[in-house]
Homo-oligomer: A and B are copies of this chain.
Amino acid sequence: MNTQQTAEGAARPAGRPRSEKAERSIIEATLDLLGEGIGVSELSIESIASRAGVGKTTIYRRWSNKEDLVVDALATLKPPIPLPQGGTVRDDLVTYLRVIQEETRHLRTRCIMNIAMSDSERHPRLAERFRELAVEPRRAVVAAVLRRGMDTGELRADLDVDMALALLSGAMVWLTKWSDGHSPADLPERIVDEALKGFRPRPAE
């Protein structure tokens, strides 16, 4: 986490203030390198400094270790694709999975996802950050979609929202990771349809 205090009432510290430009270029260089498939462990401070056109000191002055820097770098990433939520529940869920699928096709996103997925043991802060930034916002959106479905009667009224999300997302990730080849284009539909069969209310009930 960045060391510099930005508290409102705090007196500005003496001396030259830290350069925002340098900070930005450091973050950018970090994301660049991560996006090129370089893992957190292989990522060297020196390479970041060199690409950012910055002295090593300027990095160490802000972040005491690599993990903190990567955490802050990931924090600047926007939730990549806004989720549409206007069609039927099935359509919205399919779209949601398709967004996940699409992201794994782009190297940069795939690498960053890998970073988040891996090493949650060694880099717990990193994983936590990813949860806040990437997982939680989507969870909220999909939860809204599911709840809408429960209201309109499209879904079971007693559906466990978190469980439903886990079934959908988990299946998508699992199949992408462990299926033989690359995920086929109709995978999102197939997952949603299979899962929905359980979410829907029984016709004669």
Contacts and interface: CB of A to CB of B under 8 A. Distances in A.
Interface string A111-152: 100100111111000010001000100000000000001000
Contacts of A20: none
Interface string A158-194: 0110111011011111110111000000000011001
Contact of A174 (B127, B169, B190): B169
A156 interface: yes
A196 interface: yes
B156 A199 contact: yes
Contacts of A191: 163, 166-167
Contact of A178 (B131, B157, B200): B131
A194 B37 contact: no
Contact of A118 (B119, B154, B196): B119
A166 B171 contact: yes
B166 A174 contact: yes
Interface in A61-108: none
A99 to B, nearest CB: 16
A195 B121 CA distance: 29
Contact of A201 (B155, B171, B190): B155
A194 B190 CA distance: 18
A124 to B, nearest CB: 11
A53 interface: no
Nearest to A111: B121
A201 B119 contact: no
A3 interface: no
Contacts of A127: 177
